[in-house]
Structure 1
Amino acid sequence: MTDLAHAIDILGGIATRQQLLAIGFTGTDLTRAVRGGGIRRIRQARYASPSAHIDRVAAARVGGLLAGPSAAATYGLWAGLDPRLHISVGRNSARLRTNVAPSFSDRMTLTPDSSGRPIALHWIGGGAVAERGPECWRTTFEQCLRQTVAWCDTETAVACLDTALAVANCTPARIAEIFAAASASDRLTASRCRFGSDSGSESLVRQRLDQLGIPYRQQVEIASVGRVDFGLVGTRIVIEVDSWLYHGDRIAFERDRRRDAELVARGYTVIRLTYQRIMNDWPWCEGMILATLAALH
């Protein structure tokens, strides 16, 4: 039982019957594991381990794949703020497990039949679940990037691609290859990605500085301090982008205060922008940056 659940975990927490048979388990093994509670059967020929993420279970239960920004999150990329779960299904997919028939989704919020999480269904040619793998619960990395650019606002799309460069060993050349057959609009959006943003919030700041026409450099190395997120060109102004993930404990607090003191001692002005401020009060962030620049003149 444990080995079967572990095998499903290796496959991402969700597996098809065909995948499990292909690696040596039998139909009897699956039946025993389900009856014993070691794994869950979430729809015909679809199985989940006890630790499978709820979003993956929801996509498999509906009968599709996590797609676009929802898949991006599973690859460690910026996924934006859309609260819906994006699920792709084949053009001829049937027996979808949703609260109402998808044809009624213009009248009420569409959700899985097992939860109240809003979903966005995308009917895609060739988008049926890959029965033999390597994964049966999300679109491929390349499909995910193309879908995110096609379905999301430009800022979110570029931030997703920026984080692909940072965390997924992607290159601008690889991005261009992935989007070679995309629309002209999507190719233009893809061309705007840049190295230097280690997080989605850093990418948003980068893009908004571009819109303001403020020149900057990213990941600037400063002696005795280390790298800072942004250095405004022609000034001694530094912008640091803080998130709770990397700046939310006592050790990080002490480290950041030390860095600030070192920077000030070297004549720098430090502007710290938190994730919450960037996402919920950008006018305040913009005002702080412009006021700091104005104070130099």
Structure 2
Amino acid sequence: MGSSSLRTLGSAALLRRALPSGEFSGRPGGQFQVDSTAWGILALTACGGSAELLDQSRHLLMREQLPDGRLCVKKPHPASYWPTSLAILAWQDSQSCSEAQQRSVRFLLNTTGFHFPRQSDAPSAHDSLLKGWPWVDETHSWVEPTAMSVMALRATGHGRHDRVQEAVRMLLDRQLPHGGWNYGNTLVFGKELHPMPENTGAALAGLSGSVDRDVVLPSLQYLHSEVARLQTPISLGWSLLGLAAWQMAPPNAATLVERCLANQKRYGEYETSALCLLVLGALAMEMGGQIPLLSASVYKGLPLALTQ
């Protein structure tokens, strides 16, 4: 499957999830979801989607922003602010959304998870003081939301901010001794935990351009050895994105994507966020990282000015 046919297929699948108002549903025929809309914007942008629809979707996403800049899974649940980084990326290069993007950037720079000094008898081995970002307010920072926030802040030119630099150190501290990442633990009661492809891909995408290759080489080798067996969209999508960020595209990437898409005939259509991840991962293999998410690692402009 070439990039042209993938764009066509991806656009068609995503447009079936676009609601009349311009937002995206979690599934075909479903209801609006904040994260699905942000992922839909990112994937449809990479597929060359309609500028008018994308602009409409971005503006509708702004309606979900709370006064402090966060975007939540649902407005009545402000603690679930992990979609904020997705919205920052979805608003990238949209002048009319710049003020909303600034508010979200400020929110991330001033927010972190729950952190505490590690006790000598603690069951887990990672440095629990290093700050990243959590899934939910007042909980510990974990790998995927931290990687997403790093990508969002770097996309807006804040890669050298102290918060981002500390988050990079946090991700490196959570790397497993033999390579790879899981949700965010390394050793528990002295036993090394297993890596997970999706978390490894997200971490590698977030770290690209910030650390030397040698620092993450065991993780790259782990992911490259695992990718051929992956058949689910989130694991495969993040794995392809992570490998593309380090120019390690597997030669059979197109075949892997086709196999994953074909699984929908057996298991049903994928959720929008999962489908978008798969589309972005597949396109990243052919576009050299020049897609939303990965293009953040090569940001060359000035930091986004944060107005009061």
- Normalising by structure 1, what TM-score? 0.26
Question: 1 or 2, which has the higher strand percentage?
Answer: 1
Larger Rg: 1
Question: 1 or 2, which has the higher helix percentage?
Answer: 2
- Normalising by structure 2, what TM-score? 0.26
Return the structure number with greater relative CO, CA threshold 8 A, min gap 6. Answer: 2
